[in-house]
């Protein structure tokens, strides 16, 4: 076993759930199943191997809220590490590596960013040489982290601006789809005006639980209404997942067949066949399956989930050979692998593609800032790097996401996914979109971006994650999305 001792003088930087969400990865970025224990003076990390590794933990940074930070590579040693210092080292190192890669690719780095980098490096040198006074070293390391996150915002904005300028040189308006889920009820006139002024496409949920609440009796009224509304207003359409492997959209009657794989497979196949046959040729993207890597579906084994996903794709391809088909994976950093034996999402996607699954693209679900059932907030550069990793698979990407606009009571939320940070607000939700959406739009691999929760006034999964509040009034983020759409997209 490999033990790491981490001193944490500033315990207020750790939220109540930060330790249980922390994890360790090897050089290949695969999380190890580890035991992390809080002690009086810090943390003890017990790993199954003695190799060097990177420690990842949600860390509260003033002005930024909780952000998942990463140390440099740590080896096992008797002397404890100062966690905040190592997080500063790792953050600064990642920025320098990314900056070098982008400069090599032709990025013009503003002088202000270079000046900040020199400042951060000097401050880190002071912190590293002050370890005999842990409190002072951590104070200086905290300043390095704050400066570094400022740099990530500025560098991400510069990268996105230059990349978008290059894209617009050959296409004044990009064909990227920008949309949101239409939810579980028809939009009223006010909601419809906001939607049409903001998006060029829509995500239609098609929840099995609602369509076939009683076995053998389908109700297509809502789906038909939403499809016709989209077509009448020239909106491109992406289906919600036909099968969501966390079981949230499974009709109650199907639980009678729990653990009966063949019968469940038969019911799933019949439902997918009905949906695709009814709407073939009308959708621009079929999202066949979602949360394959994280969901627990009626007690079915991981092997049978993969088999079921393959069958769903096969049926959709057979009935509608022309419409692009995608499968969607959740939590693309794979932090859940540190808490359970499971496949890393990138590895699972590669396995599915090698197995002969005929998909036209991959979906990435990013429910940022929620736990459980979400992924921690990362800085802009790490966000960009993760997208680049997925693009190496050579397929277009469809990103579905949601970001909280606050915490507290939300009577329409039906799942226990809570924002992890009290700093989330409407303003911070809007700031996230302004910082991260341009990076998404700048990536040629990203073909669509879908906000997976429109209204907080309807039943939904994520607390305060909608674009419209509980009274169906637009949050500030709507104006930012509309501006990005009109500035960059057809």
Domain end (from 110, 140, 166) = 166
For residue 265, the domain's CATH number is: 3.20.20.80
| 285, 415: one domain | yes
Which backbone phi and psi does 230 adopt, to 5 degrees? -65, -45
Distance CA 339, CA 316 (A): 34
> Containing domain of residue 17, as a range?
2-166
178 near 449, Cβ under 8 Å?
Answer: yes
| 265, 391: one domain | yes
| 116, 243: one domain | no
pTM: 0.95
| 187, 142: one domain | no
| 107, 216: one domain | no
| 142, 219: one domain | no
DSSP letter string over 139-175? HHHHHHHHHHHHHHHHHHHHHHHHHHHHHHHH-SSB-
**DSSP β-bridge partners for residue 203:** 181, 238
The number of beta carbons lying within 10 Å of the beta carbon of residue 415 is 15
- For every one of its 490 residues, what pLDDT tens digit does the chain have, with 9 covering 90 and above? 579 999 999 999 999 999 999 999 998 888 988 899 999 999 999 988 888 999 999 999 998 999 999 999 999 998 999 999 999 999 999 999 999 999 999 999 999 999 999 999 999 999 999 999 999 999 999 999 999 999 999 999 999 999 999 999 999 999 999 999 999 999 999 999 999 999 999 999 999 999 999 999 999 999 999 999 999 999 999 999 999 998 888 999 998 888 789 999 999 999 999 999 999 999 999 999 999 998 777 778 888 989 999 999 999 999 999 999 999 999 999 998 887 777 889 999 999 999 889 999 999 999 999 998 899 999 999 999 999 999 999 999 999 999 999 998 898 988 778 899 889 999 999 999 999 999 999 999 999 999 999 999 999 999 999 999 999 999 999 999 999 999 999 9
Domain end (from 120, 143, 166) = 166
**DSSP β-bridge partners for residue 23:** 56
Domain end (from 166, 185, 203) = 166
291 Cβ contact list (under 8 Å, min separation 6): 241, 244, 245, 246, 328, 329, 330, 365
- Helical pair 83-104 and 111-128, crossing angle rounded to 10 deg: 150
| 119, 210: one domain | no
- Domains in the chain: how many in total? 2
| 144, 188: one domain | no
Instruction: Give the neighbor-by-neighbor strand order of the sheet with 325-330.
Output: 236-239, 201-204, 177-181, 446-451, 397-402, 361-367, 325-330, 286-290, 243-244
| 179, 162: one domain | no
Phi-psi region of 201 (alpha: psi -120 to 50; beta: other; left: phi over 0): beta
Closest CA to 295 of 325, 268, 263, 329: 329
Q: Which two tokens stand for residue 74?
A: 């740590």
| 152, 180: one domain | no
| 318, 371: one domain | yes
| 211, 115: one domain | no
């Amino acid at each position: 076993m490999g033990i790491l001792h981490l001193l944490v003088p500033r315990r207020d930087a750790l939220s109540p759930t930060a330790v249980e969400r922390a994890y360790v990865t090897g050089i290949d970025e695969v999380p190890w199943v580890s035991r992390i224990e809080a002690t009086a003076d810090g943390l003890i990390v017990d790993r199954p191997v003695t190799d060097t590794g990177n420690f990842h933990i949600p860390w509260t940074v003033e002005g930024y809220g909780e952000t998942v930070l990463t140390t440099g590579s740590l080896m096992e040693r008797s002397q404890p590490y100062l966690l905040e210092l190592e997080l500063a080292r790792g953050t600064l190192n990642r920025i320098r590596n990314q900056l070098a890669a982008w400069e090599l690719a032709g990025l013009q780095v503003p002088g202000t960013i270079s000046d900040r980098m020199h400042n951060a490096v000097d401050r880190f040198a002071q912190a590293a040489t002050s370890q005999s006074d842990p409190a002072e070293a951590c104070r200086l390391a905290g300043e390095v982290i704050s400066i570094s996150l400022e740099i990530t915002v500025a560098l991400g904005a510069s990268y996105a601006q230059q990349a978008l300028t290059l894209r617009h040189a050959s296409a004044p308006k990009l064909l990227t789809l920008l949309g949101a889920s239409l939810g579980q009820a028809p939009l009223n006139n006010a909601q419809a005006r906001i939607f049409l002024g903001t998006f060029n496409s829509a995500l239609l949920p098609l929840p099995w639980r609602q369509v076939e609440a009683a076995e053998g009796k389908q109700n297509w009224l809502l789906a038909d209404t939403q499809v016709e509304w989209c077509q009448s207003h020239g909106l491109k359409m992406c289906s919600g997942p036909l099968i969501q492997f966390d079981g949230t959209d499974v009709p109650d009657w199907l639980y009678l067949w729990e653990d009966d794989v063949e019968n469940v497979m038969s019911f799933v196949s019949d439902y997918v066949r009905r949906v695709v046959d009814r709407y073939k040729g009308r959708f621009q993207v079929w999202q066949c399956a979602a949360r394959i890597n994280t969901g627990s579906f009626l007690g079915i084994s991981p092997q049978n989930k993969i088999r079921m996903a393959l069958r769903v794709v096969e049926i959709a391809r057979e009935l509608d050979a022309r419409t692009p088909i995608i499968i969607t994976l959740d939590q693309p950093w794979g932090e859940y692998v540190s808490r359970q034996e499971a496949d890393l999402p990138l590895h699972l996607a590669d396995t599915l593609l090698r197995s002969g699954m005929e998909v036209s693209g991959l979906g990435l679900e990013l429910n940022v800032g929620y736990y459980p059932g979400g992924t921690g907030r990362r800085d802009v550069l790490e966000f960009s790097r993760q997208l680049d990793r997925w693009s190496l698979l050579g397929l277009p990407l469809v990103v579905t996401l949601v970001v909280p606009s606050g915490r507290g009571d939300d009577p329409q939320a039906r799942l226990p996914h809570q924002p992890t940070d009290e700093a989330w607000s409407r303003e911070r939700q809007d700031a996230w979109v302004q910082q991260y959406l341009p990076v998404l739009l700048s990536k040629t691999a990203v073909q669509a971006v879908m906000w997976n929760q429109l209204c907080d006034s309807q039943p939904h999964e994520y607390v305060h994650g909608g674009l419209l509040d509980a009274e169906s009034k637009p949050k500030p983020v709507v104006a930012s999305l509309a501006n990005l759409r009109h500035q960059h997209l057809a």
